[in-house]
Structure 1
Amino acid sequence: MPGPIQSLERAAAILRLLAGGERRLGLSDVAAALGLAKGTAHGILRTLQQEGFVEQDPDSGKYQLGAELLRLGQSYLDVHELRARALVWADDLARASNETVYLGVLHQHGVLIVHHVFRPDDTRQVLEVGSMQPLHSTALGKVLLAHDPVARAELDEQEREAFTSRTLTDLLDIDEEAALTRERGWAASVEETWPGVASVAALIKDRRRNPVGAVAVNGPVERLCEAGTVRPELVVQVREAARSISRDLGAPRF
């Protein structure tokens, strides 16, 4: 088993040093505290600064933690809080719909599943937490595309695979469906990613009305749909679950 990478260990030590004690430290302070040569400490600090993890005061030349660490930390806290707030409502939605429930967030050009409630029956099921779903062909992804400009920008940068004959890959068609999603407040995917599978999803907002994720019911077309469209009662259940999670996150009523 390979051992730890020394440069990464030293970078982590510098970040921990800057996180405690004095708010700002000079190069000599950092090098002396960690027993590093000044050239080594300066190289690591410069790299951390380029990545936004460290900032240097232009007047004193001293270093402090950078804004990128705050952004990453806030991202972790947001996802952790989202999942914690959604647990009860996702369980309730699974029981009401008698189907699988997913909670997803935007991550690396796709939708990351951060919570998965099994369909409440005795069939064998596989936990999907940590898996990725495409943006353009799933109900979770369509909701995020409709409300999150970052998601829409990321779609421009990737190839849109046609998983089935129903998959929309043209950006004009995708944008048209996104407008419909915003208008009606929910998105559906019927055999657009997996044959025989349908899903319906709604947006989750935080206290600042920002889109932070989506919740979806997922299951076989024959159970979720009537005449090729998602059953209205499932739409109501999913939207109410999304509103309840959003309210728990501090969002105003919508």
Structure 2
Amino acid sequence: MSNVSPRCASSVRRVPGLIQSVERATAVLHVLATRPEPVGLAEIASTLGLAKTTVHGLVRTLVAVGAVEQTSDTAGYRLADDPFGARKNQWDLNEVRARAMNWTDALAARTAMATQISVLGGKQVRIVHDVLSANGVGLPSLRTGQIVPAHATALGRIHLAFDVRLARELGAGRLERFTHRTITDGAELAHELAEVRDKGWACGCGDFDPEVATIAAPVRDQGGVVMAAVGISGAVDELCDSSGTPRSALLDNVIGSARSISRAMGHGQLP
């Protein structure tokens, strides 16, 4: 006999104005939340009164986004330990690098600046691909394999802006100062990250190295989650004007590259 709550069972009924696939996916999560043991596809389908093929598609998507886990024997499904956590560990870094490489190389050629692709691993921002600038100006610490401070570079602030939990945790602790422009106050960092989310890009002028500026934009996966950041670095007076605002041509190039890489990762494409 099913022990799913009436709320769960009724949640798959179509409500005018609501999106059916979201209703059904939520119903699947409710079913898994009521079971102490992993649940098979047949039981989920029976409980919700849906076709097994429909449930398979829903569960497969929930697994892909990290909300549901499949057991090692593949016989059942359960809620992930952290169903609303980051999905950064599910991306193949070699694939990210391969799909982004052509665009970062082109970005370096168009701007004559050093370019980088970064990902978030745990609490660390790691450079996974870089291209040296034509004149050699840029941050030596923004090279492939390097770890960079999340709060003190544009690349890092892109990641923090879209990982609110990590940003809150980082902002509650001690923020290391690298230059007099480094943000070291948690409230100021939170305000800056809110602006990054609103604008869709980040800029840092001399906050990690007093003579170097960085501009970055988010790279999104098929579902819209920020999976990486692409950016450029160079001399402060080349990237920014006297007010610290990024030069529009460079900013447009970075944003355009981020969108192109996102499309290459499936963002904005129909399944």
Q: Same fold (TM over 0.5)?
A: yes
Contact 1:101 1:216 in 2 (8 A): yes
Provide closer, same or farther for how the CA distance between residues 225 and 122 of structure 1 changes in structure 2, counting only shifts above 3 A: closer
3-state SS, counterpart of residue 120 of structure 1: coil
| Range that drifts further, 201-210 or 74-83 | 74-83
Partner Cα distance (1:172, 1:123) in 2: 32
Query: Whose helix fraction is larger, Structure 1's or Structure 2's?
Result: 1
3-state SS, counterpart of residue 230 of structure 1: coil
Partner Cα distance (1:201, 1:239) in 2: 8
The within-5 A match list for 1:135-154 is: 135-154=150-169
**Aligned position for 2:259:** 243
| Counterpart selection for 2:111 from 63, 76, 97 | 97
Partner Cα distance (1:149, 1:123) in 2: 32
Partner Cα distance (1:184, 1:78) in 2: 28
Using the TM superposition, give the Cα deviation of residue 125 of structure 1 relative to its aligned residue in structure 2, in angstroms. Answer: 9.2
Provide closer, same or farther for how the CA distance between residues 251 and 123 of structure 1 changes in structure 2, counting only shifts above 3 A: closer
1:138-173 Cα shifts (integer Å, max 9, x gaps)? 000111111123532552475310111111111111
3-state SS, counterpart of residue 158 of structure 2: helix
Partner Cα distance (1:141, 1:181) in 2: 11
- Which of 1 and 2 has greater Rg? 1
Partner Cα distance (1:165, 1:122) in 2: 24
| Counterpart selection for 1:190 from 196, 205, 208 | 205
Partner Cα distance (2:120, 2:111) in 1: 25
Contact 1:199 1:218 in 2 (8 A): yes
Where does structure 2 lack aligned partners over 5 or more consecutive residues?
Answer: 1-68, 75-79, 82-87
**Aligned position for 2:61:** none
Partner Cα distance (2:137, 2:187) in 1: 40
Partner Cα distance (1:182, 1:80) in 2: 27
Contact 2:138 2:233 in 1 (8 A): no
Using the TM superposition, give the Cα deviation of residue 175 of structure 1 relative to its aligned residue in structure 2, in angstroms. Answer: 0.9
TM-score, normalisation: structure 2? 0.63
Where does structure 1 lack aligned partners over 5 or more consecutive residues?
Answer: 1-51, 58-66, 69-73
Work out whether 1:173 is the aligned partner of 2:184: no
Task: Give me the identity figure in percent.
Answer: 36
CA RMSD for the aligned pairs?
3.4
Q: How many residues align?
A: 195
Contact 2:220 2:228 in 1 (8 A): yes
Work out whether 1:163 is the aligned partner of 2:178: yes
| Counterpart selection for 2:97 from 78, 83, 89 | 83
**Aligned position for 2:224:** 209
Partner Cα distance (1:108, 1:163) in 2: 22
Partner Cα distance (1:193, 1:212) in 2: 23
Using the TM superposition, give the Cα deviation of residue 183 of structure 1 relative to its aligned residue in structure 2, in angstroms. Answer: 1.1
Partner Cα distance (2:136, 2:153) in 1: 26
3-state SS, counterpart of residue 190 of structure 1: strand
Provide closer, same or farther for how the CA distance between residues 248 and 150 of structure 1 changes in structure 2, counting only shifts above 3 A: farther
| Range that drifts further, 123-132 or 191-200 | 123-132
Provide closer, same or farther for how the CA distance between residues 172 and 236 of structure 1 changes in structure 2, counting only shifts above 3 A: same
| Counterpart selection for 2:249 from 215, 225, 233 | 233
